[in-house]
A and B are shown apart, each in its own frame.
Chain A
Amino acid sequence: MDVLTLSRLQFAITSMFHFIFVPLTLGLSILTAFMETRYVITGDTTYLKMTKFWGKLFLINFALGVVTGITMEFQFGMNWAEYSRYVGDIFGAPLAIEATVAFFLESVFIGLWIFGWNKVSKKVHAVSIWLVALATNLSALWILLANGWMQHPVGYVLRNNRAEMVDFMALITNPDGLLKFAHQLTSGYTVASFFVMGVSAWHLLRKNETDFFIRSFRIAATFGLVSTIAVGIFGDMSAVEVAKVQPTKFAAMESVWESKHGVGMNLLLLPDPPNECNSVEGVCVPNAVSILAFHDPNALIKGLKEFPPELRPPVLPTFISFRLMAGLGTYFILASLAAVILSRWGKIENQKLLLTLLLYSLPLPYLANFLGWVVAEVGRQPWIVYGVLKTSDAVSKSISLSQVIGSLVGFTLLYGFLGVVDIYLLAKFARKGPDNDLTTMLKPRGQEA
């Protein structure tokens, strides 16, 4: 193990850990804001209880997402100094803008929302959670524009021994960044929908607070159906973009070795990278890969053999992650469709099978998020900036093996411990169910005792 490998491992561990919390934040902030808005408009206190209950889970999740985010920003300089020096002129901008435009808004108004229940009017309070939701989503936009630039670098020239920004508009209209943003946002909404449906299912199976959880379930199911369909649409558009600008990644996603027109999709497939072929191929859907890539049944797909081996990404993890992710995405659409139908027109509290299925499906959208990022990041290798800078040239020169081992072990232990505590608290408050004592919720505070 060298500094490069361990630095990659550390970035993978810390970003994936950070990413346990981010997708739920993206979606649950919107659901909580929606519930509070319904309360303000209708005055129905069930919506107030919903806001408090789901809001509490949102906050326990949110805290760890925020604090682990700082590691992400610092690590570029710590472990990837050559990268930071080489591309900082263009890559630093979206990160700095994210902090200025989005992160301030989010962190100031989350404080107002948590502690301001009786300090500001109902409307201002509801507006503050909408601002938090807006800000978390804006954060994602800038981070994904930064990542989009790594996938498809635009708006720069190589000058003064580095990549310098020459076209800011190109950076912020980069289709790779914008499509990733849309795909990620709706994936986050999917995580939140399945989280709310899963927790609600747990209570409905026990006949706890049935009215409260049926209504929560319905909101999440509708939000989930729209989101899961959108994930698929934006995912498809992203795949077209990948086929266009990152041919090596696309070939690895589909495990295509030979260049060919009208490539079909084998439902059964096992790549054999050492022999540069697939050891198993079967149940072929004709022309499907060509259609997926260019929306054209006869399109030419460049195979991996077209590229020298040192410029190909690891095929197995890219291929398997993509397949699994796409499969899960399809399942999510079907599951939320069933959830919408049975919660609108049937007695969802009696649908034991679907409820059990949704309860155990709670972690699956998280898994799909991880797999998507494996496709994006592993599939981009050996490049850190596609076609511009190799990952192996990006790592810091001044750090030693013992330093990276120390930080890797330290982060893993600390994150592991905090993750366990956080999940324990989430489970504890999720099981407890809503607080029905509205008197303490509505008592004014900040006045003379």
Chain B
Amino acid sequence: MGLQITWFILWGVLWAVYFMLDGFVMGAGILHNLIGKSDGDKRVMINTIGPIWEGNEVWLVTAGGVTFAAFPTTYALMFSYLYSALFLLLCALIVRGVSYEFRSKEESTTWRKGWDTAIMLGNFLPALLFGVAFGNIFEGLPMDAAGYHGSLLSLLNPYGLLTGLLFVALFVVHGALYLTVKSTGDLSKRSQATADKLWPGLLLVAVAFLVYTNFATKLYDNYLAHPLLMIVPALAVVSLLAIRILSAKGNPLAAFTASSLTILLVVGTAITGLFPNLIPSSIDPSSSLTLYNSSSSPYTLQIMLLVVAVFIPIIIGYKIWVYRIFRAPVREEEVLADKQAY
């Protein structure tokens, strides 16, 4: 029992950390052509992302791998039911990754403009698709003993789309703040102005999401049963407001920290509401995938827990070390002088 609950929490934490880390990569990518005016701007933006995007994407690979190892039935059904959405997601993530590597390897403007569009789409589409997919998971998928009764189109329901919009809004504000911290001069100022301009929109979408969630999902049931849990969504709202306040005070690093916390807490709010389901069924509660009926055997969960307990602290250790090495903002002169740069 304890093992399965531990793994459920870890499952939620992995997704939350992934969205926090890849969220600013996606956000910065969506804003690539909007904030980046010149070729120099764009190269600076890519080079703020360059050293760390792969390490951030591995959290997705780990979240996927852990779903496979700890909750194989959930992994099998979630991935095959959401087949077409995941196919699009994979294409977008593939295009995004190579765009960073390929863009500055040729001088031609057409070449670079093409990859700029690819960077934008390759980051926008995953942000939207992850939101749509998770929105549908919050609502529950139309599945029963006979299988799955949905399609790619049925995923694009109003609540799914609203969650997609929420993810995009969270990530663009998060990404704009990252660029504010990691660039200098005019580019940094423009990034902060963009974050400030987008924030009211994020607030609006977040409020709409919180209200609509009450009608479209059962996520609030756990909170009604255990009111103490309300602290998670309450903190999410506080940190969402803190983003704007800290940015207005002229402290973009603190505002970025607040947007990181907001993403962690929003995912935390949703996962707490889902418990004990990983994927509820919208048509037949007995077909819901829970941490009890979809997990691996206790032996496998123990082995995997041991691996994670040893390696995750090591990973966090060397990730922080590398982030500290690259903590200085990226400057255009150094990008232009460095032949190894993106």
Contacts and interface: CB of A to CB of B under 8 A. Distances in A.
Contacts of A112: 51, 322, 325
Contacts of A418: 94-95, 98
Contacts of A440: 337-339
B68 interface: yes
Nearest to B122: A67
Contacts of B69: 88, 92-93, 95-96
A56 B341 CA distance: 11
A166 to B, nearest CB: 6
Contacts of B338: 117, 440, 445
Nearest to A162: B72
Nearest to A443: B337
A97 interface: yes
B80 to A, nearest CB: 4
A59 B98 CA distance: 11
Interface stretch (A185-193, A266-274, A345-353, A395-403): A395-403
A103 B61 contact: yes
Given A111-B54, A398-B148, A92 B296 contact: yes
B193 interface: no
Chain B interface, DSSP helix/strand/loop, else mixed: helix
Contacts of B100: 63
Residue of A73, A115, A406, A435 with highest tally of chain B CB at under 10 A = A115
Interface in A33-67: 52, 56, 59-60, 63-64, 66-67
Contacts of A91: 68
* B contact residues, range: 35 or more
Contacts of A100: 62, 65, 307-308, 311-312, 315
Given A74-B90, A81-B80, A85-B72, A104 B55 contact: yes
Interface string A119-150: 11000000000000000000000000000000
Interface stretch (B81-89, B156-164, B210-218): B81-89
Contacts of B95: 414, 418
Given A88-B76, A101-B307, A107-B54, A93 B87 contact: no
A411 B339 CA distance: 32
A104 B83 contact: no
Interface string B64-78: 111011101101111
B47 interface: yes
B196 interface: no
B105 interface: yes
Contacts of A226: none
Interface in B298-329: 299-300, 303-304, 307-308, 311-312, 315, 318-319, 322, 325-326, 328
Contact of B94 (A68, A78, A115): A68
B47 A115 contact: yes
Contact of A93 (B90, B303, B322, B325): B303
B286 interface: no
A68 B51 CA distance: 19
Interface residues of A, number: 82
A72 B160 CA distance: 27
A84 B72 contact: yes
Residue of B58, B61, B105, B341 with highest tally of chain A CB at under 10 A = B61
B3 to A, nearest CB: 13
Given A399-B80, A407-B83, A89 B55 contact: no
A403 B83 contact: yes
Contacts of A90: 300
Contacts of A334: none
B55 A74 contact: no
A92 B322 contact: no
A96 B52 contact: no
A79 interface: yes
A97 to B, nearest CB: 6
Given A63-B97, A73-B65, A449-B333, A166 B54 contact: no
A3 to B, nearest CB: 11
Contact of A99 (B65, B105, B322): B65
B94 A164 contact: no
Contacts of B273: none
B221 interface: no
B325 A120 contact: yes
Contacts of B319: 104, 108
Given A77-B75, A103-B58, A445-B334, A96 B304 contact: yes
A81 B76 contact: yes
B6 interface: no
Contacts of A403: 83-84, 87
B324 to A, nearest CB: 10
Residue of A78, A79, A411, A449 with highest tally of chain B CB at under 10 A = A78
Contacts of B96: 67
A441 interface: yes
Interface string A395-432: 01111000100110011001000100110010011000
Given A85-B73, A165-B296, 17 more contacts: A66-B97, A67-B96, A74-B90, A77-B75, A78-B80, A78-B83, A79-B80, A82-B76, A93-B303, A100-B62, A100-B315, A101-B307, A107-B58, A111-B55, A115-B51, A397-B80, A398-B148
18 contacts: A70-B64, A77-B68, A79-B80, A88-B72, A88-B75, A96-B70, A97-B65, A98-B65, A101-B307, A112-B51, A115-B50, A115-B340, A119-B325, A398-B77, A398-B80, A407-B87, A425-B105, A445-B334
Interface of A: 52, 56, 59-60, 63-64, 66-71, 73-74, 76-79, 81-85, 87-93, 95-101, 103-105, 107-112, 114-117, 119-120, 159-160, 162, 164-166, 168, 396-399, 403, 406-407, 410-411, 414, 418, 421-422, 425, 428-429, 435, 440-441, 443, 445-446, 449
Interface of B: 47, 50-55, 57-58, 60-62, 64-66, 68-70, 72-73, 75-81, 83-84, 86-87, 90-91, 93-98, 100-102, 105, 147-148, 296-297, 299-300, 303-304, 307-308, 311-312, 315, 318-319, 322, 325-326, 328, 331, 333-334, 337-341
